Structure 1
Amino acid sequence: MIFSSFIPITLSFCYHVAAKGSSNSLAPGQIKNLVTFGDSYTDVTAMADGGTVWPVYAAGYAHVSLFPFAKAGATCSNNLTDRPFPSVFESQLPAYFSELANGTVPKLKPEETLYTLWIGTNDVGVGALLTGGGMKGVSLVDTVACAINWVKVMYESGARNFIFQNMIPLQNTVLYAADSYPNEYWTAVRNTTDWNVVMTEFTQTGNKLQQLMLEALVPSLKGAHVGFFDSYSLFEDMLAHPAEYLNGTAPLNVTGCSHSCVFQLNEPTSDTGACTIATGAARDSFLWFDELHPSEQTDRNIARQIADIMEGKDNRWMSWLS
């Protein structure tokens, strides 16, 4: 499964001066391949942003080959949160190792390949931890530990360069907002304020656990280059400074979404609902595509950050732990 993408940059972006990331960057020209794991935020075939998803843009901006394994709906492990989607450990990793063995994925040089994981959105969300969908006794600690274990598994297979992307502030998506409405992801009665508070706790606590667990693991990964990408803070910056990231023709919007569908309570989501859909350049005025997913313009912003990292540039959202 190979995506070689060279997408011209036609949009201008404005960024703050680097203030957060560490300077232990990759060497310019070092990275030739990007291998991605995760959920719909990273799945290049589901196109959950309504257009092209960030890994394709990132590979194009940095002129690297893309090997995508992320799948929409995924959690880290279905043994922890039982969802009918291809999880990282039960589906994506086996697919990667199978394609590596049969030659679909060529043997990649470790020093030239960057591996990324962006997972957690579904682990903590509806149908999983938020709504009691975890297996008996499973907590946030377990789902985070599972994600950290991905680094160890990939390292033992020969991988050496890693980006671990933390969870975004999901409480700011429409689905988990305090003033949310019935939508395609949830039409049953719920306490939206409670969901918003709990999701805030999940994302902030989960991200801190991720950082601490990674820091504890890194000393055992001799020769590895492990980076912690602060997606949460990047999204907070986009929420606070939309004019620096969004450039559509409609008024800038960080609270609604460009593809909004309002359902009646308990209405089957197979129905269409009452939808308001932005089209054309107006779509790039929105931070969110729908009630859960970032917009394509947001994905371009994410891609630019990841591409800069692959090109060996310092990045304010990236902290190299080794």
Structure 2
Amino acid sequence: MAFLQGVKLVFALLALATPSWAVGVAPGQIKNFVTFGDSYTDSSYYPTADGGYAWPTWAAMYGDLNLYGFARSGCNMLEPAYLQTLPSDHGDRLGWQIPAYLNETNNGTLELNPDETIYTIWIGTNDLGANALITGSDAPTTSIVEVRQCAIDVLKTLYESGARNFIMQNILPLDLTILYSNYSYPNTYWNMERNTTGWNVYMTELVRAGNEITSLMLDALVPTLPDAHIASFDSYGLFTDMYNNPENYFNGTAPYNVTGCIHSCVYTVDSTAEPACTITNGTDADSFLWYDELHPSQQSDRIVAREITAVMQGEYNQWTTWLS
């Protein structure tokens, strides 16, 4: 009898220590999909910076969801001064995204059932890169800590407005893009002299530190948001796996290519000459991880969409951890 009581106690303790299967969203629950982020997520035009549809457009099609895209160019706390002079409706700053969303929800233009709506937040690329942390900026006192706090504040603001279901996507391995690689060349995004190895090492550190800071911030935030369901999506892990195991993801008619890009433009440093640009067309493009020196390809976007759709449909996903 004592032995059986002991066994029951052990199972009771394990039940308390094991995450509840009710964590997250249920299959069929989500009908509306709202996005915040930068050009990786911006679905407001076509073709996008990825050369086609943004990944949320694919996800909305895969999941039969209503898409409401507010992503433009991220937090951009470190953007160059000329962007600060643009009109408020330009849409290049997070300062447009949140006010635009709140304005539409407050005036009744956008009415969403919070139980049926999920919000994705994928921010970081622009604040870490060229004309920002990696090169210096007009905000020298801003660090990676403030940049990641900005992403957390987006989630908090949305929660305070009534949102309850969230997917926070961490920063992908930007050091693997052509722009920040150690074999980079003068391109559309940076055609001046630079130490490519230095950029690559620094970007590696920025991304890993930023993701760890975000994880710690989320762990501290979750207990303060009752009734919220927050998923942490490992974009870093997914893109690293695509880079290391392209045969599992790409199905184009050309050899797998994770170090080049579909649309490449090579500039001559300190020259006004037109760049030498090449583009891969047709089904060969589906062999590439990157569209250009900074942005993912359409095949990569479809993979992101597939994985995020699984999360929104309440399915198990290896890149996702539900925190609440």
TM over 0.5: yes
Asked if 2 retains the 8 angstrom alpha-carbon contact of 1:50 and 1:289, the reply is yes
2:29 paired residue number: 30
Q: How far apart in 2 are the matches of 1:30 and 1:39?
A: 27
Matched, 1:239 2:238: no
Equivalent pair of 2:76/2:126 in contact (CA under 8 Å): no
- C-alpha distance in 2 between matches for 1:77 and 1:44: 18
Distance 1:31 1:182 in 2: 44
**CA positional deviation for 1:88:** 5.2
What is the Cα deviation at residue 76 of structure 1?
1.2
Given the superposition, is the C-alpha separation of residues 292 and 22 from structure 1 closer, same or farther in structure 2, using an over 3 Å criterion? farther
How is 1:142-161 mapped onto 2 (pairs within 5 angstroms)?
142-161=146-165
The CA deviation at 1:99 is 1.9
Task: Give the corresponding residue for 1:57.
Answer: 58
Compared CA separation, residues 22 and 179, structure 1 to 2 (3 A): farther
Q: What does residue 281 of structure 2 align with?
A: 279
Amino acid at match of 1:258: I
* 1:168 Cα deviation after fit: 0.4
Aligned residue type for 2:42: D
What pairs up with 1:107-126 in 2 under 5 angstroms? 107-126=111-130
1:12 aligns with none
In structure 2, give the amino acid aligned to 1:246. F
Q: Which residue of 1 aligns with 2:311?
A: 309
Q: 2-side partners of 1:146 and 1:164: how far apart?
A: 12
Report deviation, 1:22: 9.6
RMSD: 1.7
Shift, 1:26, TM fit? 1.4
Q: CA deviation at 1:75?
A: 3.2
Larger radius of gyration between Structure 1 and Structure 2: 2
Is contact 1:226-1:320 (8 Å) kept? yes
SS in 2 for 1:52: coil
Matched position secondary structure for 1:163? strand
Q: In the alignment, which residue of structure 1 is the partner of 2:320?
A: 318
How many residue pairs end up in the alignment?
Answer: 296
Matching residue's letter, 1:49: D
Task: Report what 1:16 is aligned to.
Answer: none
- The CA deviation at 1:25 is 3.5
Corresponding residue for 1:189? 193
Unaligned runs of 5+ in 1: 1-20
State the AA in 2 paired with 1:36.
T
Aligned to 1:260: 264
The aligned amino acid for 1:67 is: Y
Counterpart residue type for residue 242 of structure 1: P
In the superposition, the TM-score normalised over structure 2's length comes to 0.88
2: CA distance between counterparts of 1:139 and 1:42? 23
d(CA) in 2 for partners of 1:146, 1:122:
13
The partner residue of 1:179 within 162, 183, 193 is: 183
Structure 1 residues 310, 251: closer, same or farther in 2, change over 3 A? same
Q: Deviations over 1:216-252 (max 9, x none)?
A: 0110000000111000000011011101111111111
Q: Which one scores higher on RCO, CA 8 angstroms, separation ≥ 6?
A: 1
Question: Taking structure 1 as the reference length, what is the TM-score of the superposition?
Answer: 0.88
Cα gap change, 1:29/1:88 in structure 2, threshold over 3 Å: closer, same or farther? farther
1:103 deviates by: 3.4
Residues 37, 88 of structure 1: 8 Å contact kept? no
Q: Partner of 2:10 in structure 1? A: none
User: Partner of 1:130: helix, strand, or coil?
Assistant: coil
Deviation at 1:89, TM superposition (A): 3.7
Give the distance between the partners of 1:174 and 1:124, measured in 2 at CA.
15
